[in-house]
Amino acid sequence: MRSQTVWLPTALYTALIRLHMDDFTAIGFVNAIFGDKAESQIRKQRYTFIYRHLIKLVNQGLLKRKNVDDGRRFSHFIRTPKFDEVHFKEEFIGPDALVTESGKEREPETYESVLEGLSARAQHYRQALQECDSMLIEFQELRSDFSILDLAIERAINHTVAESRDLRGRLEAVERLLRGLMAFRSAS
């Protein structure tokens, strides 16, 4: 049986998967990812963006909302057992994501800005691939050190290999597009 795949924007993926956040408020989540120094309008946009995605995860049964009477009446979000059964993938969303979420018009793209965006995306995928490679090396070392965890480590390796394949495909698509654009540019 294949596990469900859930795509998460970069900010949520970073907090939930890389930082292993659990039992948090939406405000605490935003502060952990973006810090608390932004002006109020940007902070509100970030909060709305994060909160909407957290509610989607609640509706999918991956997170649970818990009301905690800590004097401030904020909902806390907690991982459910189903959270660990799902395969998460990162949906690379750059800074423009918050602008489009707020309903403002995007600035017209230039050829240079498109190349910059594609290069940044390719770099992001390369870094994520390096993380996967490091994880696979560590899993092999853990397997030899802790043979009792073999089943759990095998599952983690399979998950990481699948993520690595996906990243390699995404990177190849972006690099192919970059090569085509560069060839078009030099031919013009």
Residue with the two structure tokens 């498109």: 114
89-106 in b/e form (b: 16+ CB < 10 A) is ebeebeeebbeebeeeee
What is the pLDDT, as a whole number, of residue 69?
62
pLDDT in tens, 120-174: 888 888 888 998 899 899 999 999 999 899 998 999 899 889 889 988 998 999 8
Give whole-number Cα distances, 185 to 113, 118, 179, in Å. 14, 15, 10
End-of-domain residue from the set 50, 74, 106 = 106
Do 50 and 97 lie in a common domain? yes
The predicted pLDDT at position 48 comes to 82
> Looking at 106, 126, 148, which one is the last position of a domain?
106
Domain identity same for 174 and 133: yes
**Which of 73, 90, 106 corresponds to the end of one domain?**
106
* C-alpha Rg value of the chain to the nearest Å: 19
More confident residue, 9 or 148: 148
Per DSSP bridges, beta strands 75-79 and 5-9 are unpaired
- Quick one: pLDDT at residue 20? 83
Q: pLDDT tens-digit profile of 81-127?
A: 988 888 887 776 644 444 333 344 445 567 777 888 888 888 888 88
The C-alpha angle with vertex 136 and arms to 81 and 15, in degrees rounded to 5, equals 45
Q: Indicate if 142 and 173 belong to the same structural domain.
A: yes
Closest CA to 77 of 46, 48, 54: 54
